[in-house]
Amino acid sequence: MNLWSLVLLAPVVFALVCDLRTREIPDWIPLVIVAWACLATAAGLHEVTWIGLAAGALLGLGLAAAVFYLGGLGGGDVKLLSAIGAAVGPWVLLSIMAWMAVAGGVLALIAAARGRRDFAYGPAIAIGVLVETVWPGGLARVLLR
């Protein structure tokens, strides 16, 4: 776990808390993530290039917007995933989203057992980022054995 991962994890955890309390993710959280990603890229503090930053943001926006239009995510989730994509690049974002899907499936089962059809997706996003932070590249190692 490196400093960059912790810097990303902090606003994601804050978004999780906001999502659980109010079912909304404030717009300033993704803005902070994107600003930090741009600063880190400009200063060479991490390996994501400007092209990787843009590709990650667009991939996060595209995939999350598709799920948004199907009714599976809220607007704050879309903005947060796009910002995370900018911070980590497209390949790491795909790994985060895979872990997120697993966590979201578990949350959906819990919500269904409670008789609810909708639930905050912030916890699934935070779990995806946390697992990728603690076990970077772990999903690729499991799938490519």
Percent of the chain with pLDDT over 70: 91
**68-75 long-range contacts, CB within 8 A, separation 24+:** 72/121, 73/121, 74/23, 74/24, 74/25, 74/121
Q: Mean pLDDT across the stretch 15-25?
A: 94
Tell me the mean pLDDT in the region 88-101: 92
Contact assessment for residue 29 and residue 37, using Cβ atoms and an 8 Å cutoff: no
Q: Which domain holds residue 35?
A: 3-143
How far the first Cα of the chain sits from its last, in Å, is: 23
Q: What is the C-alpha separation between 109 and 89, in angstroms, rounded?
A: 30
Residue 78 is predicted with a pLDDT of 96
In 3D space, the residue among 10, 18, 9 whose CA is nearest the CA of residue 76 turns out to be 18
Amino acid found at 105: G
Res. 90: pLDDT tops 90: yes
pLDDT at 1: 46
pTM: 0.89
pLDDT confidence of residue 140: 61
- The residues near 18 (Cβ < 8 Å, ≥ 6 apart) are 24, 25, 26, 29, 122
Q: What percent of the chain has pLDDT over 90?
A: 74
Of 5-9, 29-33, 52-56, 107-111, the one with minimum mean pLDDT is: 5-9
Considering just the CA atoms, what is the radius of gyration of the chain in Å?
Answer: 15
111: left (phi over 0), alpha (psi -120 to 50) or beta: alpha
The pLDDT assigned to 8 comes to: 86
What's the structural domain count of the chain? 1
DSSP assigned state of 115 = T
